[in-house]
Copies of this chain bind each other. A is one copy, B any other.
């Protein structure tokens, strides 16, 4: 279990730093420094503080999957047999690269996934061949994202 500092205090300068880097992880520190009016060394030190607190958990290049032909996003609710260990099912889901998110959830479904496929045929294969074949999966319910309108992180 990761230790996390819940007592972190972030001020307006921290927010400006974070907003710049959440927008573009490669924004130069010195550019941010010029923007907020303090030295690069100070920004550097604040970033170290923010990393140490665990608030910054990393950085990523964001890929546009459509360019690779991945145009079908779907959500899948999974019903698991009572006796089955959920972690074992998750372990199997991790092996399916099309599964981008996976949650234990309240409600009817035991597990809820977001998956990304090239097309409906690909989606069908992932459902029938990869997911339905996992031991303990009794039934699934699928709905397709026709268009994603919002995609963002928490507001800082």
Contact = CB atoms under 8 A, between A and B. Distances in A.
B58 A24 contact: yes
A26 B109 CA distance: 38
Interface string A36-58: 00000000000000000111111
Interface residues of A, number: 63
Given A61-B25, A102-B149, A67 B90 contact: no
A10 to B, nearest CB: 8
A34 interface: no
A145 B59 contact: no
25 contacts: A4-B66, A4-B67, A8-B67, A18-B63, A25-B26, A26-B59, A53-B67, A55-B63, A55-B67, A56-B62, A59-B59, A59-B60, A62-B153, A65-B154, A70-B154, A75-B105, A94-B149, A100-B150, A103-B145, A103-B149, A104-B146, A104-B147, A106-B143, A108-B143, A116-B154
Given A25-B60, A63-B156, 18 more contacts: A4-B67, A18-B63, A24-B59, A24-B60, A54-B64, A55-B63, A56-B61, A56-B62, A56-B63, A59-B59, A60-B60, A60-B62, A65-B154, A75-B105, A94-B150, A100-B152, A101-B152, A109-B143
